[in-house]
Amino acid sequence: MLLYAVDSSRSFGLGTRLPWDEQYVIESLSDSTIYMAYYTIAHFLQDGSLTGNPNNQYGIQPEDLTDDVFNYIFLSNYYPNPPQNCKIPVDFLNKLRSEFEYWYPMDLRVSGKDLINNHLTMK
């Protein structure tokens, strides 16, 4: 997902600034795709709280959610094995991956065909 975000970035206009390099902006329709992917697992990470819960079931902290963790959850075809030295239990990572794959199948299109050529970032 992070690679997708960087490939869909520019240095000006509407969108979301990259937290690790604020000179870049993620294209506004692409950041909507990233948010939707995150929302499929957010309820587990935040224990159902809209503002987050510092005492979630597995004690996961924001710094535990590394690029490798998100790659494992969202890019199962490219990352079949859990990340090395990860603090998050493998059973929970697999639960997150399963939830994402159920709610966000790769054959799902949630946009009109007329928007593809001039608005949506395709990878």
Domain count, the chain: 1
**Which tens digits make up the pLDDT trace of 13-37?**
667 777 777 887 776 665 566 778 8
Q: What is the pLDDT of residue 24?
A: 79
Q: Determine the structural domain holding residue 95 and report its residue range.
A: 2-109
115 occurs within a structural domain: no
123 occurs within a structural domain: no
117 occurs within a structural domain: no
Identify the CA nearest to 74 among candidates 45, 53, 103: 103
62 occurs within a structural domain: yes
19 occurs within a structural domain: yes
Residue 83 identity? P
- DSSP3 helix / strand / coil % (the chain, rounded to 5): 45, 10, 45
> Distance (Å, rounded) from C-alpha 19 to C-alpha 30?
15
Q: What is the pLDDT of residue 1?
A: 44
> Is residue 96 a contact partner of residue 86, using CB atoms and an 8 Å limit?
no
**Which tens digits make up the pLDDT trace of 53-102?**
667 778 888 889 999 999 999 998 899 999 999 999 999 999 999 999 99
